[in-house]
Chain A
Amino acid sequence: MGMSAQDKMITVANRLGLTSLKDMQGTTRMVYDSIPTIQGVHTFFKGASQRAFPLSNIGANGNQFQVDEALLVEKIGFFFPTAADGISYNGCGATGLSVKFDLVIGNKTVIKDATVELGGEQAFYNDGAVASSVIDLEGVGILIPPQVEYYVVAKPFANATRSADTARLGCYLFGTGALLNFNTTI
């Protein structure tokens, strides 16, 4: 039987010496960041504490989770803000663009030169009649441990002609998470 998301979180956390993570509150978690400037290369989450809701939801802590909080990334999605205020957005289908990206955690690139292709994952991703803008990570997922910086570098490009392009862009990381729970009175 394969490893569950919770098992992977606990295993990796234990190996990193984060033995208290198993006692924290389990949750479903997502973090997102968007950059409303039209450009060809975007770096998400780094410096996102400067971007308030609705541009980002990562808050003052910036691009690292606080003590005993973590996220096991199971899905990565890219979206395209429709205006500079970042309130509304569309998927790849509205722009005809795909996105090439790297995910970096700490000093380590954990996803390298991957793409979220417009209409990818058609074999198993059903979102009504619309093409997917999401990639499901194979295996169980990748853990972002507490207090380690993470970021995503992404480049939009034309899905069919494979040429570089510019756009407003956003990125979300979704998966199983842990929230701080003191487990004792303080």
Chain B
Amino acid sequence: MANQVNKLAYVDSKLGASLPGQQTTRVIYDSVNAVAGQGFYEFFTNFAGKTEFQTNLTTNKLDSAESMVIKSIQLIGNFNGSPTPANLANHLNLNVTVGNQVVIKDFDPSFNASNRGLAFDRLHSGFNSSQNLELRLLTDIVIPPQVNFKATLQLSDAVNVALNDDITIIFKGYGRIFSAGNSF
């Protein structure tokens, strides 16, 4: 069975992008600042005016010699609505698209939020809360070099989203970054 390393090498090779690179663990993230009542969020499509802690990308694709596997997806909410703040423990709808291909379709990660005995993971951390959840994928999904990608998230309790609430999405997994190998 292919592991993350083999899968990444295989896909990159198929796409003709099998350059040697530095192996790494890659984390990419994007944060969206909400308006009141916002129920639909699009990540990795707008980078204007964001700080280095809100996103660590400047475009919605990896560099020409970079690629990664999406193995974990984390969602972090900063919800301050009153009297009831929104949360990630109510039903969600997550889609991830790489290129023109939907790779995660209509997925509800809210079952991994908080501690209700409903998590997908056999060994599920008690630290997961209603505003911070992580999902470990069963398959390795590759973001190849120079292919655009995005994620969309729909919240069921949008009515409780307040102005300036934040939602951050984080992709984590094995990756490859540019290594010159020789001197320029």
Contacts and interface: CB of A to CB of B under 8 A. Distances in A.
Interface of A: 4-7, 25-32, 53-54, 57-59, 74-75, 77, 79, 86-94, 124-134, 136, 172, 174-177, 179, 181
B155 to A, nearest CB: 9
Nearest to B120: A174
A28 B108 CA distance: 11
Given A27-B103, A59-B106, A6 B117 contact: no
B126 interface: yes
B137 A93 contact: no
5 contacts: A27-B105, A28-B138, A29-B105, A174-B120, A176-B138
Contacts of B105: 27, 29, 177, 179
A88 B90 contact: yes
Nearest to B114: A128
Contacts of B28: none
A75 B135 CA distance: 15
Interface of B: 1, 89-91, 93, 101-108, 111, 115-120, 122-128, 135, 137-141, 154, 156-157
B141 A136 contact: no
A3 B127 CA distance: 32
Contacts of A29: 105, 107
Contacts of A28: 104, 107, 135, 137-139
Contacts of A125: 117, 122-124
Contact of B93 (A4, A53, A126, A134): A53
Given A57-B106, A57-B108, A92 B117 contact: yes
A127 B139 contact: no
Contact of B116 (A26, A31, A87, A91): A91
Contacts of B135: 28
Contacts of B124: 125-128
Nearest to A124: B122
A131 B117 contact: yes
Contacts of A176: 138-139
A26 B141 contact: yes
B119 to A, nearest CB: 5
A25 B103 contact: yes
Given A4-B1, A26-B139, A54 B91 contact: yes
A6 B104 CA distance: 16
Contacts of B138: 5, 28, 74, 175-176
A54 B155 CA distance: 9
Given A30-B108, A125-B122, A136-B122, A88 B115 contact: no
